[in-house]
Chain A
Amino acid sequence: MASPEDKDVSTAFSTREINRNLRKVAESSKSIEIGRLNGHHNVAVGLIGSIRIKVDGDAGDYFGSLNDGPLIVLNGKAGRFLGDTMRAGEVIVNGDVDHGLGVYLMGGTVLTKGDCLGGVGQGMRGGTVIVDGSVKGDIGRRMDGGTIIVTGHVQGTIGPNSAGGRIFVGGDAERLAKGLEMKPITPKEYEELKDLNKKYKFKYFQSPEALKRFRRAMPVAEANVPSERGEA
């Protein structure tokens, strides 16, 4: 697994062996590639440091969880609870993700270039969750902090039982938790989204102007206070 000619882990390695090798390589190397991952759960978890990991294939549940620093790119689908309790680093998924993307996220960024089932950013307290696609279920349940960005539609409820954090939606978002309403983004928020778009190239927002379609879910009381919020 550590060398280019031995990148196929689909049958050759158990999850434990994959993770052990990742930890070992993390100590001596700055980057590693894993080939043809085949739905293994709990891969690339509990890693500390700025190792770069490229994974081809599909990941199972809890991919990239409890990490503190690694930069991971997954070219394939991922299972449930990706980036669970992550502290720092980045996980980019070029594919769809199941339920619970970024659950309990404390820091860092998790991003999918596909759709999610739901449970996005549940219980998160920091960091950024980006869905460059649509979400079929709820987002931001019990969220206390951090940022969720969905470029497409959200079919479920936004922010149930949430106490903090920011939620931006580029597409349709009809169901809001009690006490929240959608408001246009501010110029400052627009600049922030523009920077993220520059970095991650959102598929639905080719032009910077289109980013103005984003709206932010806000507590009603906060959203209606006359202030310098303004509109982008």
Chain B
Amino acid sequence: MARPEPLDIASIKAKAATGAPQVRSGGAKRHMPDLRSLVVNPGEIEFIDEDEVSIDVAIGRSSTRHHVKMAVPIFVTEMDYGIVSKSARLALVGGASLAGTAIAAGHGGTLFEEKEVLEEKGGSLLVKWSKGRHGIDTHQLNYGSAVVIDMTRRVGAVVPGPAVTTEVAQAYEVERGIDITEPPFHLDMETDADLQGHVDLIREVTDHEIPIISKFDSGDVYNKTKLAIGAGVDAVWFEGMEAWRPFNPEPEADNVGTPTLGIFGPANQAFTELKAREKGVKLLVSGGILDGADVFKAMALGADAVGIGTAARLAIGCNLTDKCAEGKCPEGICTMDPKAETKLNWKAGARSLENLLIAMGNEVGRLCAVAGYKSVKDLDIEAVRALSYDVASITGAKLVGYDKQLPIWVR
């Protein structure tokens, strides 16, 4: 019998004391195979200077007038206002914009101050078509560089009542002090097939000008990818189990979904079957990405751009105290306490995030040069090797020491 780990012991004791399932902040904490179980395969023949490597990417097909342009193949994932403070939102928006990349808006639309920063720094905002529709209207949809249709199944509170200050209530268009919730599914979707209806509706409202992305939790990746591509999106975004969530109920946190590493195989299969890459559809991945090597490996496995959340929060000052759900973040990030928020200087945070994104982009470029690729767009699975049989089985990467794909991947 496995000996309980400290987290298990804490959880058992908390449940014994309260009689309630426990909710914690963060992503899955169980041991799972991850991108660190891959290594980069060095190129042998052609010398490439890292300065020659192109690391910029764009989301959008030829049919959309505007594309989301990213100077680095890394974007910042959504963190909802009300969970993170206004200063934290400004630091995240500012950092992404300074680095020339995109950031996803959370629930509750976009704050006026965020728009000012975006407009001043020229950033790209991925607007969320959420299941609660808080802060969503025609202006907001057209304001974004892209619209993200949220197809995740997160349930429960988006922002708990005590964090719903007057300003938060205004952003979400609700009453002050009441839990902000959203349904587990879009109330204007009767079946998953209605995703196409939403894509078509948003295309009409935005006059076919901006890309549309559908975002899913990981799990049943193959079918969801086919659904999204069939619905006509410009990009499919999967979030692995490792992704941070401010309120992550324990039974779901460690037991529901797929680790990021498990996204690529089934997504690539669906992309290949539907010739989606030839049509310009992109694959976005987030969850557990911490450095440029993770980005490189994710792109070698099939991602066209990669999202960071925890790394971005660390850059602006987070120390992983895991008090996000309590709203008592001592760094002024996950809090609505005005006094605590003063701990975060958003302009300094923005510069730190800009530095991180540039550094990660440089790491990606360096690894591309080492592996013999002139552009991140050229990366393929040959650029990596799996360190274990399990990881070779999951990803289709060649196994070190065997130097071939495992037979289950040879078709």
Contact = CB atoms under 8 A, between A and B. Distances in A.
A65 B187 contact: no
B204 A46 contact: yes
B188 A16 contact: no
Interface string A59-101: 0011001111000000000001100110100000000000110
A149 interface: no
B138 A104 contact: no
A41 B200 contact: yes
A85 B133 contact: yes
B136 interface: yes
B209 to A, nearest CB: 11
B115 interface: no
Interface in B191-219: 197, 200-201, 203-208
Given A65-B201, A66-B141, A106-B173, A122 B187 contact: yes
Contacts of A19: 204, 207
A61 B199 CA distance: 13
A26 to B, nearest CB: 12
Interface in B164-187: 173-174, 183, 187
Question: Size class of A's contact patch?
Answer: 20 to 34
Question: Size class of B's contact patch?
Answer: 20 to 34
A80 B187 contact: no
Contact of A16 (B142, B190, B201, B208): B208
B252 interface: no
Contacts of A104: 133, 187-188
A100 B206 CA distance: 22
B204 A141 contact: no
A103 interface: yes
A37 B106 CA distance: 37
A62 B197 contact: yes
A217 interface: no
A123 interface: yes
Contacts, number: 80
A45 interface: yes
Contacts of A178: none
B64 to A, nearest CB: 13
B116 interface: no
B138 A66 contact: yes
Given A16-B208, A23-B207, A104-B188, A123 B201 contact: no
A194 interface: no
A147 interface: no
B137 interface: yes
A232 interface: no
Interface centre among B136, B188, B197 (most CB of A within 10 A): B188
Contacts of A87: 137-138
A222 B141 CA distance: 38
Contacts of A46: 138, 141-142, 204-206
Given A16-B208, A68-B138, A106-B173, A42 B188 contact: no
A177 interface: no
A45 B204 contact: yes
B207 A141 contact: no
A27 to B, nearest CB: 13
A209 to B, nearest CB: 37
B186 to A, nearest CB: 9
B65 to A, nearest CB: 13
A123 to B, nearest CB: 4
A15 B202 CA distance: 13
Contacts of B137: 66, 68, 85, 87, 106
Contacts of B174: 125, 144
12 contacts: A45-B204, A46-B204, A48-B139, A66-B205, A84-B201, A85-B133, A85-B136, A103-B187, A104-B188, A106-B133, A123-B133, A125-B173
Give me the 6 closest cross-chain CB pairs, A-B, nearest first. A46-B205, A123-B187, A122-B187, A46-B138, A42-B204, A81-B188
Given A100-B188, A104-B188, A123-B187, 16 more contacts: A15-B204, A16-B203, A19-B207, A20-B207, A41-B200, A42-B197, A45-B204, A62-B188, A67-B138, A81-B188, A85-B137, A106-B173, A123-B132, A125-B173, A141-B187, A142-B183
